[in-house]
Structure 1
Amino acid sequence: MTTKRPIAKRMIIMLICVGVLLGALIGFNLFKAHMIKKFMAHNAVPPATVTSAVASYQTWQPQLTAVGSLRAVRGVDVTTEVAGLVRDITFSSGQEVKAGQVLVRLNDGSDRAQLASLQAAAELSQTVYKRDKAQYEIQAIAKAQLDADAADLRSKRAQVDQQAALVDKKTIRAPFAGRVGITTVNPGQHINPGDAIVTLQAIDPIYVDFYLPQQQLGQLQVGQVVVVDTSAFASHTFDGEIRAINPRVDSTTRNVQIEAALDNRERKLLPGMYANVKVDVGSEQRYLTLPQTAIAYNPYGATVFVIKPGERKDARGKTMAVAQQIFVTPGPTRGDQVAILNGLGEGTQVVTSGQLKLKNGTPLMIDNRVLPADNPNPTPQEQ
């Protein structure tokens, strides 16, 4: 009996020691896990600052766009057919003139004197012809004499007409109504045939020439409405309609030339200006849209980062958002926007900038004070 009691006592002591040791190990591991969790919490990935936008539906009118060049309905550099000394300039630079209005008179004094001389000779020839005709009727002269008189009369009249045409050419008139440009010709200046006096442009209406690919020909027709804007009048658009479609496609570019006429009663548009041309085609379509900066492209397709609530909380105890990458199917673009055909629903919040530093689960800090462009009809900004 005395032998068994020390053995039991030692067993109890050993079990107590083992229990204490196990408790110490468990407590150490729990303390270690707590400290690791605390350390990781203080060393978590910092949130990435991004901008965001909400996917929403917009109605788009399908359009064909091109850059065109404005051209006057009629335009010419007024010149002279004959050489001469400028006597009068009867217009002012930039003036609106009518068809047939006198622009310049050349010195024609000697030409008019020559015309008067030829007219006198023609009148004398007419008198001789009448007298000889009366003589011929009474058989006083031969028929050959009367024929010679008739030929001389026609020759004299032709000379008068020729000289009259020369005198008329010394008065230079506007071939059509329009606006004259700036002239550098002065009275007393000698000009030669072909010398430009002033440009004359008929600019109401005005034409715009532009080119579109041949595959878009099926969407075009004469009379179709076009809308034009220029950098000179950024806040103003000009309406017109297609007037002609070239029956020949350029074999080098496979583009076809289109001519449209624009209303230019205010005379704002000038020949030589470039213009952005938009042609409405088809019916309006409804698309879910995002800024184009939201789309990231890789060999596997197009992706966006959507914003979802996460498990981590910030210093104020508010749940932080995290990024999740998903694949989408982009569609047509319009200005700064792109249509999303599949992969997103309306109202989904999407990252629009800062995607390069993101991966799935990255905590986010959203700062929308400066947003990427999201305009369906942007205009160039020149600094």
Structure 2
Amino acid sequence: MTKGTTKRMIVMLLLVGLVFGGIYGFQQFRNKMIQKAIKGQGMPPQAVSTTVAQTSVWQPAVEAVGNLRAASGASLAAEVGGLVTAIHFESGETVKAGQLLVELNAAPLKAQLEQLKAAAALARQNYERDSAQLKVQALSQAAVDADAANLKSAQAQVAAQEATIAQKSIRAPFAGRLGIRQIDLGQFLAAGATIVNLQKLDPMYLDFSVPQTQIDLVHVGDKIAVQTSAMPGRTFTGSISAIEPLVDTATRNLRIRARIPNAKGELLPGMFATARVDEGGKREYITLPNSAIAYNPYGSTVYIVKDGGKGADGKPKLSVEQRFVTTGATRGDQVAVLTGLKAGETVVTAGQLKLHNGAPVFVNNSVPAANNPNPEVKDE
């Protein structure tokens, strides 16, 4: 290798070293400037909405929805077929238990009944005559036993015929209100065909379900308030009459039945209703809007706004502190906080996604969080 070639290689190595040295130095300078900027100015504050935690008086209650059903209800039908010869009711009429509603043609059966009664009367006479002869040893015991069997058979045939005739008369099995009549005079009514619907409207039953976490809040005999959209503003009172002793394995809910007086018949079977069961006396809870709570697998958290004094510009320096809380019952848009929070503390209600413990914030409450204990659904 000549001296000229060696000098060129040295020069090239020096140039490469200068280039890489310049790049490294520039990166170090940039990192120092970024760190200095972060240390001097900090991260920009995040916009959040806030509310002040307040103490509210709550009435602990269990609320659920369910369906109303009559104390007794049935679609009346004939056990046997026949021609309709008489109708003794009108649609919508209130009837008593055992009241005759419909008669079917029973003339042929009644004629056969007279024949069977005559045969039964003859069988009785034979039995009584032979029994008298048995006393004087004029007839064997076997003959009298045969007469007794014939008498019982004849009486059974009479009873069976009377039962068949009774099936031709359809009566109300219980007192209640009839629905719309579905038969007409003179038509042939097949066995099992519906005649009319009968419902006993007083009392009414409300069947609803509660989750297994609220089982200890409902008991037989507890008072219940019932409302239905069919009669806005009206509240009906009743009491819990039965609790299913089995939790549904599919939903983990427990079925409850409440008994509601309905003397005026205003509540009807099939109505959708809301039930409320108050539990114990009124209590005081610290409440927050539900949007303030971050529900996580490891626990529920909130962000508390802390005042860090005033900055160089004279404005307050605010930061947040993440805190674990224990939540309780909910009421509309509100949730009760049992532990981890004091009344009067300022809590973030919106903007939590970009926050971390100690993050700077500034407050913008132009859009307040929903905090209504009794929100109403509005039709748009």
Query: SS in structure 1 opposite 2:193?
Result: coil
Alignment partner of 1:334 is 2:339: no
1:274 counterpart (263, 272, 275): 272
1:324 CA drift (Å): 8.8
Q: Counterparts of 2:131 and 2:341 in 1: how far apart (Å)? A: 104
Letter of the structure 2 residue corresponding to residue 227 of structure 1: A
Q: Counterparts of 1:135 and 1:297 in 2: how far apart (Å)? A: 98
1:118 counterpart (116, 119, 139): 116
Contact 2:49 2:363 in 1 (8 A): no
Q: Alignment RMSD, CA only?
A: 4.1
Distance 1:322 1:378, change over 3 A: farther
1:218 counterpart (204, 210, 216): 216
**Structure 1 segment 51-130 matched on structure 2, within 5 A:** 56-130=54-128
1:7 is matched with none
2:24 is matched with none
Letter of the structure 1 residue corresponding to residue 373 of structure 2: P
1:99 CA drift (Å): 1.3
1:365 CA drift (Å): 8.9
Contact 1:243 1:259 in 2 (8 A): yes
1:165 is matched with 163
Cα deviations across residues 302-345 of structure 1 (Å, max 9, x unaligned)? 45889xxx9xxxxxxxxxx9999787858442013344666674
1:318 is matched with none
Contact 2:116 2:154 in 1 (8 A): yes
Q: Counterparts of 1:83 and 1:228 in 2: how far apart (Å)? A: 43
1:208 counterpart (180, 183, 206): 206
Query: SS in structure 1 opposite 2:186?
Result: coil
**Higher alpha-carbon deviation: 322-331 or 215-224:** 322-331
Contact 1:52 1:366 in 2 (8 A): no
Cα deviations across residues 324-369 of structure 1 (Å, max 9, x unaligned)? 97878584420133446666745x999989999xx988697969xx
Distance 1:178 1:217, change over 3 A: same
Distance 1:288 1:196, change over 3 A: same
Letter of the structure 2 residue corresponding to residue 119 of structure 1: K
Q: Counterparts of 1:365 and 1:70 in 2: how far apart (Å)? A: 44
2:39 is matched with none
Q: Counterparts of 2:91 and 2:124 in 1: how far apart (Å)? A: 47
1:96 CA drift (Å): 2.0
Q: Counterparts of 2:139 and 2:343 in 1: how far apart (Å)? A: 111
1:172 CA drift (Å): 0.9
TM-score normalized by structure 1? 0.69
Q: Which has the larger radius of gyration?
A: 1
Cα deviations across residues 87-130 of structure 1 (Å, max 9, x unaligned)? 22222222222211112111111111111221122222223333
Letter of the structure 1 residue corresponding to residue 172 of structure 2: A
Contact 2:176 2:198 in 1 (8 A): yes
Distance 1:121 1:227, change over 3 A: same
1:377 is matched with 374
Q: Counterparts of 2:155 and 2:233 in 1: how far apart (Å)? A: 63
Query: SS in structure 1 opposite 2:116?
Result: helix
1:291 CA drift (Å): 5.1
Q: Counterparts of 2:351 and 2:317 in 1: how far apart (Å)? A: 13
Q: Counterparts of 1:184 and 1:270 in 2: how far apart (Å)? A: 20
1:243 is matched with 241
1:193 counterpart (191, 194, 198): 191
Contact 2:82 2:188 in 1 (8 A): yes
Query: SS in structure 1 opposite 2:86?
Result: strand
Alignment partner of 1:265 is 2:293: no
Q: Counterparts of 2:363 and 2:167 in 1: how far apart (Å)? A: 85
1:208 CA drift (Å): 1.6
Cα deviations across residues 199-245 of structure 1 (Å, max 9, x unaligned)? 22222212222222223223332212222222212211222222222
Give ranges in structure 1 of 5+ residues lacking alignment: 1-47, 311-320
Distance 1:353 1:103, change over 3 A: farther
TM-score normalized by structure 2? 0.69
Contact 1:330 1:338 in 2 (8 A): no
Q: Counterparts of 1:117 and 1:327 in 2: how far apart (Å)? A: 96
Query: SS in structure 1 opposite 2:156?
Result: helix
Q: Counterparts of 1:62 and 1:375 in 2: how far apart (Å)? A: 17
Q: Counterparts of 2:52 and 2:233 in 1: how far apart (Å)? A: 28
2:18 is matched with none
Q: Counterparts of 1:156 and 1:365 in 2: how far apart (Å)? A: 94
Distance 1:343 1:137, change over 3 A: closer
